[in-house]
Amino acid sequence: MNSTALIHAIIDGVLTGSVYALMATGLTLIFGVMDIINVAQGILVILGAYLSYALSAHFGIDLFVGLAITIPTLFVVGIVVERLFLARLKGPERTAMSILVTYAISLVIEGALNMIFSVNPVQLHAWYVNQSFGIFGIYIAYIYVFGFLLAAGLLAALYVMLYRTRFGASIRASLADQTAAALIGIDVKRVATICFGIGVAVTAAGGMVYGATNTFNASTSYDLISRLLVIIVLGGMGSLGGALLAGILMVTLEDIVAVAWSPVWSQISFFVVLVIVLSLRPQGLFGKQSARVA
Amino acid sequence: MLRLKSGLWLLGFVVFALLPLVVTNPAYRNIAVVTLIFMACATSWNMFSGYSGYVALGSAAFYGTGAYTMALMANHLHLQGGASMFWLVPAGGLAAMLVAVPVGAIALRVRRHTFVVITIAIFFVFQLTAINLSFTGGTGGLSLPYVPWGASYFEVPFYYVAFAILIFATVLSVLVRRSRFGLQLLAIRDDEDRALGLGVKVFPVKLTGFVMSAFVIGMGGALYAMLQGQIYPQFVFDPIFDITIALMAFFGGFGTLLGPLLGGLVLESMQQYFTVTFSSGSLGSLYLIVFGALFLVVILFMPQGIVTAVRDWWVKRAARAARDSAASDAALAGGSH
């Protein structure tokens, strides 16, 4: 293995990893506030990618400009899904039920996407997808850098919202303890609905970058959701910082394994690391240690 | 009530036993075999996940292990295609149990939702391994010895073997439910810490249940491989299988005996029918929409599943009838004075 390839893998990993971190942050935020595991996150990423695809292919709208349409659209999709299905889930099996319900939603969306866009894989195109620039003998397509900047910008915005606004304070209170948050007068239901909307809205941005850097069809969502779940469990479910770090670490590790050993086995490294870490630290890297899980 | 219940079970048994004599279309018989396999797998899944509350979403790892055991052993033993291959079905189940021991030992260290995710992760390790190893044939999969039975009765032996597996799974599920071991699983589902405090050895109990449930799922995979004659890693280690059997159990009634049977019967036969009918064109995706939407409707209106909802309705009706007749008795008694 030469060092250029290794450096390339690390740069690639950090750039791509930040996009995964963004999508995983949405997922972990939803879990932390609502105790809901949104398995539909994978297909929603693909939905976001297809929306960008439709806008750019049929209306010639630039991928990044199109986000002004796709992000609010997916926010609304999230709100509707939460109000219609998830708000009704109650009782001790709530989290398990949420997995099945969001999976069923995911199947419906998958079927619809297959019917509308067919199963032939597509990829998003723009000048920055096809052109790359060289630095120290390494060539990187512009989209990786733009995608990184987008993800970093959105994550920063999310953090400002969480740590500098009143609404962010109520989200963090709900993350810490839902019952206590309700007791001090926070409308936990409303916070949950909006959090779900935000958690889903980030998939529009993630999906656009994903679709520009990979070919995709609806069934790509299985690969995506399994990675996102691994990332949030590894980071500690409900931990925003954990999702961020685990996202970048895991994708970088996968890229390094791909050049150091073989691309064939790199995907497995993802899951093997998870199994090892969880054997040593069942709550994940930054998860809350809960003595009693209902 | 008890007689009605056993009568219905007997009726179900007779209908299933006679079905291949009535249904002669090979396509429909094939649907019936696969449906029975799924009913058995869902019942077995429910025996661990439904009773213990630990929703496992990696069962395709066991299904695939069973399928590959069947394919590899049949090829290495140079078996003639035919009934002798059925002996490898329990071997597939045993292989799945063997694999389930380390999987369970890792996954059951964590609770509930983390458990769900880690089972998914372990499943993907299996799928990727099957795709990447050389002895599994990679993405090209493996061919099994050709089974030279005539088209007019090809599926019939498969049907009865699948039926036998289903009966085994159902009886096992009943026995576990009525045993001390089953009560321990239910105690874990209700409150694991309290169960631990009361002296239930939770980890061995969970692991035993997990490994037991892998047996039938492995047998299902082995039989499916033999029926297909050719297996591919992405179809026997299929993430949709993971979720499908869980959806079946929840659809019918999570933790009930009849629930996974009903869920498997309705959902799998429907899915197979859709696949056969709309195998070409974009309509093939229609079943995903119908399947998902049907599940959503059931779960929103009957969150406990169909079986539990019907049972509650029945109990309420009986209670009301009893109250009404008691009231009219009282009225009559009052009138006679």
- Does the residue A21 lie in any domain? yes
Crossing angle of helices A220-235 and A263-280, in 10° steps, is 30
* CB-based contact A103 B116, cutoff 8 Å: no
Give the list of residues 6+ apart from residue B241 with CB closer than 8 angstroms, or none. Answer: B59, B60, B63
Phi/psi of residue B232, nearest 5 degrees: -125, 140
Cα–chain-centroid distance for residue B255?
12
Q: What is the pLDDT of residues B26-60, one digit of tens each?
A: 888 888 999 999 999 999 999 999 899 898 988 99
Q: Count up the domains in chain B and report the number.
A: 1
Give the closest residue to A225 by CA, choosing from A89, A105, A75: A105
Range of the domain at A190: 3-280
Q: What is the pLDDT of residues B117-166, one digit of tens each?
A: 888 888 888 888 888 877 777 777 888 888 888 777 888 889 999 999 99
Tell me which residue in A88, A107, A114 faces B291 most closely, judged by beta carbons.
A107
State which residue of chain B sits closest to A233, comparing Cα positions: B114
Q: What is the pLDDT of residues B77-114, one digit of tens each?
A: 888 877 888 889 999 999 999 999 999 988 888 877 77
What's the one-letter identity of residue B301?
Answer: F
Give the closest residue to B35 by CA, choosing from B54, B50, B56, B16: B16
Q: Between these two residues, A174 and A102, which has the higher pLDDT value?
A: A102
* Whether the Cβ atoms of residue B207 and residue B27 lie closer than 8 Å to each other: no
Tell me which residue in A114, A237, A267 faces B128 most closely, judged by beta carbons.
A267
- Does the residue A287 lie in any domain? no
Q: Which residue has the tokens 């297996």?
A: B231
- Does the residue B202 lie in any domain? yes
- Does the residue B163 lie in any domain? yes
- Does the residue B189 lie in any domain? yes
- Does the residue A290 lie in any domain? no
Size of interface A-B (CB pairs under 8 A): 134
* CB-based contact A105 B296, cutoff 8 Å: yes
C-alpha span between A234 and B8 (Å, rounded): 48
Q: Output the six-digit token pair for A100.
A: 């099945």
- Does the residue A89 lie in any domain? yes
Highest-scoring range by mean pLDDT, A139-143, A226-230, A285-289, B216-220: B216-220
Tell me which residue in A104, A115, A233 faces B285 most closely, judged by beta carbons.
A115
Q: Count up the domains in chain A and report the number.
A: 1
- Does the residue B2 lie in any domain? no
% of chain A exceeding 70 in pLDDT: 97
* CB-based contact A230 B121, cutoff 8 Å: yes
* CB-based contact A233 B132, cutoff 8 Å: no
- Does the residue B327 lie in any domain? no
Range of the domain at B181: 25-283
- Does the residue B232 lie in any domain? yes
CATH code of the domain containing B246: 1.10.3470
- Does the residue B266 lie in any domain? yes
CATH code of the domain containing A69: 1.10.3470
